[in-house]
Structure formats: C-alpha cells, structure tokens
Chain A
Amino acid sequence: MITLNVNGRDHQVDSDPTTPLLYVLRDELQMNAAKFGCGLGQCGSCTVMVDGQAIFSCVTPITALQGRKIKTVEGLGTIDRPGPMQRAFMEEQAAQCGYCIPGMMMRAQALLETNHNPSEADIRDHMRTNLCRCGTQMRILAAVRRAAGYMREAKGTGQEQGTKS
C-alpha cells in the first residue's frame, strides 16, 4: 500500500509501485484532468504538481511520491467555484479540443505560485514542455497572463487562492 496525498486528501493505493502516477489518478482515483499524451514526458498533457513543481505524471512512479503533495486541476477549484487559473481559461475561451489544457494549467500554476509577475518570455519559456496541436497557444498565454493578474489581486487582498499546499 502506498499513501498518496492528492489535493490535500490521502488515498491508499495498492497498485504496483512502478505504476506511473497518471494511471493511478485516472484508473484508481477516477480523476479525469491529467491526460495520457505520449507516455514519454515529451508533450505535457499529463502534467500535475508535486510539492509545488510541475512534473510529468506519465513517467513518475507512485513509489516516488509517498509523503509528497500532489496537486491536479481538480484541486484548483470546481465548476461552480473555479479557481483563478480555471476562471482565466474559461474567460479567455482558451481551448479548442481542450485535451492539453489541464496539463497547460498545471504547468502554468507551478510558475505562478512562485512568480506572480512573470514576463512574457518567462511564460513562453516555462510552457515549452507542453504541446497544443489545435493551435490555441495564443489564448493559453492570454489565460496565463490573466490568471497571474487574478493571483496578484488576490494576494493584494490577502485572499489568495491556489497557494502552495
């Protein structure tokens, strides 16, 4: 049994310890956001956060994640109470098929949690690990900028959402 802390909740998992986190999230915990894209850490569709950093869940075995804090899109907010990153993506209509978007959001979240005021070059460079095939990148960038603004505002009023868990 391996204990995984996902979005603040502990889950007991009895999968093989070599199982990549992605399959445990989807298959055992029935979470949808992280997606299988390449299984090789080359596209970013499976991106989640571990201890505040963006990682590829398709190549990270659960045995490496005992006692660490995992965050997924499901931990950013809900459809009724979306977090700043989710709101930003909705407001910018930053999706076509949307398959890559959860990975994009987690990748961006990891940046914004340490830097509320990234430059355009910072964002583009940080996001280079993640691929979008529909060509929605201009909107994704707009959404990340917008989310950064929300996070700055929230910090200003002391009501920051999506801080490091």
Chain B
Amino acid sequence: MVRRILLAIVLILVIGAAIFVALGWKPAIAPVDRPQASAFKPEVLSRGAQLAALGDCTVCHTAPGGRPFAGGLAVETPFGTIHSTDITPDPETGIGRWSEAAFKRAMREGVSRDGHHLYPAFPYDHFTRTKDEDISAIYAFLMTRQPVSAKAPANDLPFPLNVRFILTGWNLLFLHRDPVADDPSQPEAWNRGKYLVESLGHCGACHTPRNALGAEKRAHAFAGGVADRWTAPALDGASPAPVPWTQESLFTYLKTGFETQHSFAAGPMAPVVSDLRAVSDDDVQAISVYIASLMGPVPPPRQQEGQRAVEMATQAGLGFTRGAPDQSRDEPGAALYASACGWCHYNADSKGSSFASRQKLGLGSVSSMPDPSNLIHVILEGIPPVEGEATPIMPGFAGSFTDRQVADLANYARAHFSTRPAWKNVDDAVKAIRSGKDIDRSASRP
C-alpha cells in the first residue's frame, strides 16, 4: 500500500517534471543573416525609434559611458546582479543573427534566440502585451543600429536562481500573455495611453509593488514600488504629490522633465523623461491621460492640501525672510537647511527671484513620500550634471553631513515642506542608503 502510494507520488512528480520540462524547454530559432536596412520602410524605422524610446531600451541596455543598446549595465535586484546584454545587431554578442520571430519570442516569452530563458529584469511580462506591428517596428529599428561588439559581464546570482530553467515556474505563475484590452467607453487617447503604459512603457515595473518572487502584485497595480533603491511613487489615488497631478501637468512633466507645480524628474526617472523627448506629443499625451485617470478624481481634502502647499511655497522662508526671524530656526536641521538648501530651494515666490525654474521643496513629492528614501538619496548623492544639457544640478552632501545631520535635514524638510506626519527611523534609513543598501520601508512609514 505504502509502496503504491510512493510509486504514485513518484509517478506524479516525474510526470509533473516532464510537463514542466516540456513547457519550459524552448528550441533555438535558426540564425539568420542580418537584414539590410533597405528591407525596412523609413516610416517603420522612425516609428520603431519612438517605440524604442518609449520602451526605455537604452536606459537598461547602456552601460555608464558605454554605447547605446550595447548593454553591460549592472541591474541590481533583490536576488542579485543581472547584466543587460547587447541588443545591437552584432552577430556574436548582439542580436545580429536574430530573426524577427526570435525577437518576437524574446519580447513575448522572455526566451533568447538560442532557447535560454531571460530573467524578468527584462520586462517581458509587459512587452508580451505589445502589438505585433510595434514589435516589428522595434525590430526594424534595432537591426539598423550600428553593431557594437560587447560581451556582458556574467550575472551574479546565487543557486538556484542562476539556473535559468526555474524561470519556467515563474512564467507559469506570473506571465500573463493577455493583450491590453480596449475599453470602448473610454476615449481613444485613454486606450492608447493604457496600452503604452501597460506594455512598452512598463511603468508598473517600478511603480507597482512586487511580491517575494519579484513579480508585480497585479492587485496593487501602480500602488508604488521600488526602482534602484529609490521609491517609485504611487500613480494611483495614493499619489504623494502635494498638488494633485492633472493630465496637463503630467504631460509637461513627462515631456520636459519639469513642472512648476511639481518637480524635476530625478533619480531613476530622469533617464525615462529624457527618452520621452523623442516620443510624439500624442503618445505622451495619451500616457498622461491614462495615468491621470489612474489617480482618479481628487477628493476635497487633497485639493485643500494642494492649495496649502502652493500657499506655503509662495511664503518667504528661512534664509529669505523679509527680515523677520523665522520661527523654525532653532529646530535641528534648520541651520543646515538655511545654507545648504535655501539658496536654491528658497520658499518664496520672490518677484525678483533670479532662477527661472527651480524646485520649490513644498511642491515636489520628495518630502511627501511615504518613506524618506528619495529625499535621503538626493541629499547624499545630489543630482549630477548631464553633459552639455540644461538640466538641474544639485550638489551631493554625502561628504558634508554626518548621518545625524542628514536625518535632521530630512526631518526638517518633512516638517516644513509637507503636511504629512513625521517619518520614523530616519537615522536607520540614512545609514542604510549611505552603505549602499535599501531601506526598510515599512519601518520608516509614519
């Protein structure tokens, strides 16, 4: 009897394994010669260029100082470090010998031409929903880039994660290959926006929280996530922006990287908006329409909070008094704020102000986020200059301030540039970020 039961279990396991292997095993797709550029229509190429920009291919597939699309960027995940690969049409290190079918399979199923599984750091769980003709256009665009020979460094993942085959299970659990469904009750721009956001734009990759196995929690889509140890703010009703976003303000922000009632794009969002400059106004507008709808109608308390934030931001603040001493000057962090921050982030809408576009701290979401990680990142690391481009520059204060001082400054900013309750355990968060670790978000929330 026991033997029978054991035999049955073994049989089930073997059959299960066989099914698993059958499902997971993917054949190599035969190599092809790289198609000539003349094989593609110019309008397909330019559409491919825009779609590739929308998909942020270069953000991950470019190493610091490296050639675009040549890969080599170390992407840190909670599971280990994964290196992006060469997606230029180099025949050896790139995708030069990939047929369009092979490329489509990679985008749809997360499988390389030779049949090995790709890690979902490559967001095929989003790209799988991309329309055929869009994948074709991106293929055409990539195959007409200059080939760059660039072998990606080996990934650094522990066993058993370094066995790619286990991704079969991940895909079984989390890869939903359903196309993005149109909602006929919504306007065309909304539907277009939804498609772009959910597929190529892969906004949820950062802005949706992930489960223990690293998959997006679909039930909590756009509730806020993590990107490169920065907090990616919620894009739903929980958006931390002091002044509620509108479709217009989102468009300006995404298209130019700055919006006066909000903030500059910084951290991992900076390269995203940089890419969006190449995307058509219509598509960026569509994205704005959809994101604004995710955030939903603005309840009156949020409206009032927004008005308060605007009022606060136009009042003279520390360092920019009309002469009267500021009540807050004896608080820890006040003196640091006054001369380290106040020169740019002065809280007054002075008519004689010399800076056309500067960040008013009370309007950016950085002080209103549920946790202090972004504020600490930006205090320590600053915002580096982009070579030859007019972009915000902020000095990093890692060398200037101790952990205690950074925490004081963060607490001061929270108290004075946000209406939300104080964060907890800010000191621990500073220590973690300074030592290159992520913070314990749940421990720092108010």
Contact = CB atoms under 8 A, between A and B. Distances in A.
Contact of A50 (B335, B339, B344, B400): B400
B395 interface: yes
A60 B343 contact: no
B285 to A, nearest CB: 33
Interface residues of B, number: 23
A42 B382 CA distance: 11
B432 interface: no
A20 B342 CA distance: 11
Given A41-B394, A42-B393, A60 B400 contact: yes
A17 B385 CA distance: 29
Nearest to A53: B399
Q: Which 5 A-B pairs have the closest CB atoms?
A: A41-B395, A53-B399, A61-B339, A18-B338, A55-B400
Give the interface centre of A19, A40, A64, A110 by most chain B CB atoms within 10 Å: A64
A150 interface: no
B405 interface: yes
Interface string A22-60: 000000000000000001111000000011011110011
A1 interface: no
B201 interface: no
Interface of A: 17-20, 39-42, 50-51, 53-56, 59-61, 63-64, 110, 121, 128-129
B384 A56 contact: no
A17 B395 contact: no
Contacts, number: 61
A14 to B, nearest CB: 14
Contact of B344 (A40, A128, A129): A40
Q: Please classify the interface of chain A as helix (H, G, I), strand (E, B), loop, or mixed, using the class held by over half of its residues.
A: mixed
Nearest to B408: A64
A83 to B, nearest CB: 21
Interface string B376-418: 0000001011000000011101111110010000000000000
B301 interface: no
Contacts of A50: 399-400
A59 B339 contact: yes
B343 A64 contact: no
Contact of B399 (A18, A19, A55): A55
Contacts of A19: 339
A54 B398 CA distance: 10
Nearest to A57: B400
Given A18-B335, A39-B343, A61-B340, A56 B395 contact: yes
Contacts of B394: 41
Contacts of B338: 18, 61
B364 interface: no
Contacts of B329: 18
Contact of A64 (B319, B382, B400): B400
B336 A63 contact: yes
A20 B339 contact: yes
A18 B329 CA distance: 9
A95 B68 CA distance: 36
B160 interface: no
B184 interface: no
B334 to A, nearest CB: 8
Contacts of B340: 59-61, 64
Contacts of B382: 41
A30 to B, nearest CB: 21
Nearest to A39: B343
Contacts of B339: 18-20, 59-61
Give the interface centre of B335, B400, B401, B405 by most chain A CB atoms within 10 Å: B400
A64 B401 contact: yes
A42 B400 contact: no
A110 B400 CA distance: 13
B65 interface: yes
A128 B329 CA distance: 34
Contacts of A61: 335-336, 338-340
Given A39-B343, A42-B393, A128-B385, A63 B399 contact: no
A17 B343 contact: no
A50 B395 CA distance: 15
8 contacts: A18-B329, A18-B338, A18-B339, A50-B399, A59-B395, A64-B336, A64-B402, A128-B384
Contacts of A51: 399
B401 A18 contact: no
B333 to A, nearest CB: 10
A59 B379 CA distance: 12
